Amino acid sequence: MGDGEFDRGAAGLTGFRRYTWWAVPGMTACVLVLFVSEWVLDGDVPLWARAPAAAALVVEVWASVALLSRRLALLPVTAAQPGGPPMGLLTAAVGAGVVLAALPLAVRNYGLWPVAPALVVAIVATYLPPRHRRLLVGGAVVLALLPGSLVSLAEGDGESAYAALFPAGLVAFTAWVTLGPLWAWDTARRLDAARRLEAELAVKEERLRFAADLHDIQGHHLQVIALKSELAERLVERDPARAAAEMKEIRQLAADALSDTRAVVRGYRRTSLDDEIANATRVLAAAGIDARMTLAPDAVATDLAEAARHLLGLVMREATTNVLRHSRARHAEVDYRIAGGHARLRVRNDGAEEHPTALDGTALDGTGLRGLAERLEAAGGELTWQHDGDRFVVEAALPTCSPNPVDGAAP
């Protein structure tokens, strides 16, 4: 995923965040101002109730907008990762809400008094994990039945049903319209985070694929170059002509390694099984190893898919490199044939070390073979290796007809 896609995703999320802000904090401020200010400006309301209500309205609007804006900046709240509102803002919102509820209720305004408390309940619920959120809203709905109904019964005005049911319904409705957009916002943030994580994993996977291909190329070429350099060093005094020939091959190998490396960077390199088998014959012979190649006629004649030949070529290259680096082999056998609908490659050598070590003395973990095994398994085949005494056997099998071979090559 390119930088442009990240920018477009970020721009889309910014627009959605702006919409959510207007849908939640903006709506909350508008509801408070519209409903409460109309009551505050009503000349029929006693002055002793209007003045403190106006001050409480300013505090309630400020605290509510600040709390909801802060909630939008937080990660989605879960039971495992609870959040909490700032206590100073919460105290201000609750105090102002109590004033805005008590004053209208004192003059028997059963429709206005639950507005501020309902908004405070909804705001606190946004900071709670789902289970606690449901408990808070459910408890608030039940409690909202009591204040208005008790006042109505005490006054005997006959509005006890309205005074009980309207506040309870308002609390439930306010929680629904507040939590709904926030749920959508949290979901969008989770999806955006997942998208970014997927992009990062794709980049890391591509880096691992590139590292595996680079290991296959450089490990093989450098091992052969080291071997031939050692041979040329021994021959320089005894057989200068052959030493010169070996040095020419070393030069060609270095040029091939550079060319292959450039091809990997461009993403066009493919490994051929036929070329790798022929190369293994030359390299093992140069190392003084008696290498016997058995190529079944039907295997040579079978038109194997390019991706499968690429994978088997990588196995042949890795097996040859292991023979050179991790054994004192005198004999090696390569067998390639078609059997049971599978192309089967087996490389066997003697002189295998009991506990093979890398050039720096650290124990090997078979990372090269393990990586190839994962690739073959993804293509519907398998790769196994076995260490029996001084013998080491690598066996690979791939279906001759694979619908979707996965070779880890360049896309």
The verdict on residue 292 lying in a domain is yes
- Side-chain-side CA neighbours of 349 within 13 Å: the count stands at 25
Instruction: For residues 176 and 27, give the distance between their C-alpha atoms in angstroms, rounded to a whole number.
Output: 13
Instruction: For residues 146 and 152, give the distance between their C-alpha atoms in angstroms, rounded to a whole number.
Output: 10
Instruction: Specify the number of domains making up the chain.
Output: 2
- Residue 331, SS3 per DSSP: strand
Q: What domain range is 14 assigned to?
A: 3-199
**pLDDT tens figures, 4-29:** 443 444 445 778 888 888 889 999 99
* 174 & 223 share domain: no
Last residue of a domain, one of 199, 228, 252: 199
* 187 & 274 share domain: no
Quote the pLDDT of residue 92. Answer: 94
Single pTM value for the model: 0.51
Q: Which residues of 352-388 are buried (b: 16+ CB within 10 A; e: fewer)?
A: beeeeeeeeeeeeeeebbebbbebbeebbbebebeee
Percent of the chain with pLDDT over 90: 31
**Tens digit of pLDDT per residue, the chain (411 long)?**
444 443 444 445 778 888 888 889 999 999 999 999 989 898 888 889 889 999 999 999 999 999 998 888 876 555 444 457 789 999 999 999 999 999 999 999 999 999 999 999 999 999 888 889 999 999 999 999 999 999 999 988 889 999 999 999 999 999 999 999 988 888 888 887 777 777 567 557 756 777 777 777 777 777 788 888 888 888 888 888 888 888 888 888 888 877 777 766 655 445 678 878 887 887 787 777 888 888 887 766 666 777 788 888 889 988 888 888 778 888 899 999 888 888 899 999 998 876 554 433 333 444 578 888 888 998 889 999 988 888 999 999 998 874 444 444 333
* 359 & 313 share domain: yes
The verdict on residue 408 lying in a domain is no
* 44 & 104 share domain: yes
DSSP class of residue 24? I
Quote the pLDDT of residue 363. Answer: 39
Instruction: For residues 68 and 411, give the distance between their C-alpha atoms in angstroms, rounded to a whole number.
Output: 46
The verdict on residue 406 lying in a domain is no
Instruction: For residues 249 and 226, give the distance between their C-alpha atoms in angstroms, rounded to a whole number.
Output: 12
Quote the pLDDT of residue 197. Answer: 77
* 363 & 218 share domain: yes
Instruction: For residues 260 and 270, give the distance between their C-alpha atoms in angstroms, rounded to a whole number.
Output: 9
The verdict on residue 147 lying in a domain is yes
The verdict on residue 18 lying in a domain is yes
Other CB atoms within 10 A of residue 314 CB: 28
* 186 & 216 share domain: no
Q: CA angle 248-251-253, nearest 5°?
A: 110
Residues ≥6 apart with Cβ < 8 Å to 57: 32, 33, 36, 37, 40, 96, 100
